[in-house]
Amino acid sequence: MSSRGLWALSVPLALLSWIGLIVLTGVLSVSTATLVVILPVLALALTMTVAPAIWTAAHRLGMPVMGERPAVALRVAFWFGLWATICIGLRVVDAFSGLIAITLAVIFGLVETFLQQWARR
């Protein structure tokens, strides 16, 4: 994937996701069942919004793997979107704590570090 492909994929999907999220939250009442519909759309919206920013920052800072391949920046943005969505979902059902957020961030960070190390081999 090229940087142009990342932008062409991220920007339209981010706009559509945020519009879809606004429509869904306006139409559906907040309940546990509707979270099954709303949270994946939120994860997609966050991922596609953050992906170009992560790639641009990594590219400008000269990070070896992420700055050279936009697909890796998209994967890192996915981890961020997944983490934020899980934290928001836990907050909605009153099961959130800072320890859970930190633990999830460490786990996702370690998985991404392992994947980047494995890709270098």
Please name the amino acid found at residue 57: A
pLDDT tens digits, one per residue of 37-83: 899 999 999 999 999 999 888 888 887 766 578 888 899 999 999 99
Q: How many angstroms separate the CA atoms of 27 and 11, rounded? A: 24
Q: What is the pLDDT of residue 67?
A: 59
Average pLDDT in the chain:
89
Give the mean model confidence (pLDDT) for residues 19-39: 87
14-24 residue pLDDT tens: 999 999 999 98
Tokens of 24: 């869904």
Q: Which long-range contacts (CB under 8 A, 24 or more apart) does 64-67 make?
A: 65/116, 65/119, 65/120, 66/116
Give the length of the chain.
Answer: 121
pLDDT of amino acid 65: 66
- How far, in Å, CA of 1 to CA of 9, rounded? 10
